[in-house]
Amino acid sequence: MRKQESESNLMERLEIPAGEAGDGGTAPEAEAAGKTGERSEAAQPSAPAQLSEIDQLTAERDQLLDRLARLQAEFDNARKRAERERLEFRDYAAAGVIEQFLPVLDNFNLALKSTGSTEQLRSGVALIVKQMEETLRQLQVVPVPALGEVFDPRVHEALGAVDRDDLPDQHVAEEVRRGYKLRDRLLRPALVRVAHNSKQASE
């Protein structure tokens, strides 16, 4: 009798609580798996949310493309405007120069219509040359010093050498064509012949 009571007490202490019995604890694992699945589904955005994000990115892209197109158009307009202003300035500057030479041309035409003597014609042409030189001077165009100067290959172009005992060696003996400068810029070199003094060369 005591043996049966002991076995009954032992069975009561070893009795598994309800809800935990079954296939060796598979219920807690299933519950954990269910919670993990719920977290995965919560982490993934829904289809409407994904579409909304795509629409937003598409709108931002369209705005950037529109802004880029407007900047490109503004750049093209600025470039065309600068080119137009440059051409207008060049035409304006050329017009100012041409206007100063018109009186010189008028005097040449008057000289051609003149019936005076050769000396009178020569005197008239000399006056026109002076007028031309004055016009160039107003434009800050000055002749390159040549005759009697030391030959300078930076502003002189030698056509040859001439024997001259009355001039220092390597000095300009003849000016064939006058050279000109615009301020400090060389427009064209002076064509010259250079003196060769044999006495100085031998010393």
Domains in the chain: boundaries: 56-139, 142-203
Distances, alpha carbon 126 to alpha carbons 107, 131, 141, 175, in Å: 11, 9, 19, 18
DSSP-derived 3-state class of residue 194: strand
User: Which CATH number applies to 56-139?
Assistant: 3.90.20.20
**Does 13 have pLDDT greater than 70?**
no
Per residue in 93-106, pLDDT (tens digit) is 888 888 999 999 99
Per residue in 122-178, pLDDT (tens digit) is 899 999 999 999 999 999 999 999 999 999 999 999 999 999 988 999 999 999 999
Tell me, yes or no, if the pTM score tops 0.85: no
Whole-number pLDDT of residue 201 = 59
**Does 11 have pLDDT greater than 60?**
no
Is the domain defined by 142-203 classed in CATH 2.30.22.10?
Answer: yes
- Comparing CA positions, the residue from 100, 172, 88, 93 lying closest to residue 136 is 100
